[in-house]
Amino acid sequence: MNFTNEQLEEIQELAALLLEPEEIAVLMNIDVDFFFGQIEMRNGAIYAAYFRGKTETKKAIHENVIKMAKLGSPQAEELANDFMFKQNLAEKRGRK
């Protein structure tokens, strides 16, 4: 099944809103099992659009947390430490 650039952009936008894959599939009238399958394969245009959207929002959240941590927010400092811990774990395990 081929998706247009507009459809891929919509997947990216909906993923950036942190909607669940099933919600995106339903909103876009895509077979839910097909959509999950594309994401689980971890390659292809659909996965790339989904992951890019999700990651753009994660990036924006991380940027805000780091800014707040640098300003001395104890809660943000705790979150930043958690980010670093998760990043270090990911570096050690590599890509699976």
Residue 14 CB contacts under 8 Å (≥ 6 apart), including other chains: 23, 24, 27, 28, 53
Task: Round the average pLDDT of the chain to a whole number and report it.
Answer: 95
Quickly count: other Cβ atoms within 10 Å of residue 53's Cβ: 23
- Tell me: the pLDDT tens digits for 60-80? 999 999 999 999 999 999 999
- Tell me: the pLDDT tens digits for 45-59? 999 999 999 999 999
The model's pTM: 0.87
- Distance, in Å, from the CA atom of 43 to the CA atom of 60, rounded to the nearest integer, reads 24
> Where do the DSSP E strands lie in 33-77?
none
Least reliable range by pLDDT among 28-32, 36-40, 90-94:
90-94
SS3 assignment, position 41: helix
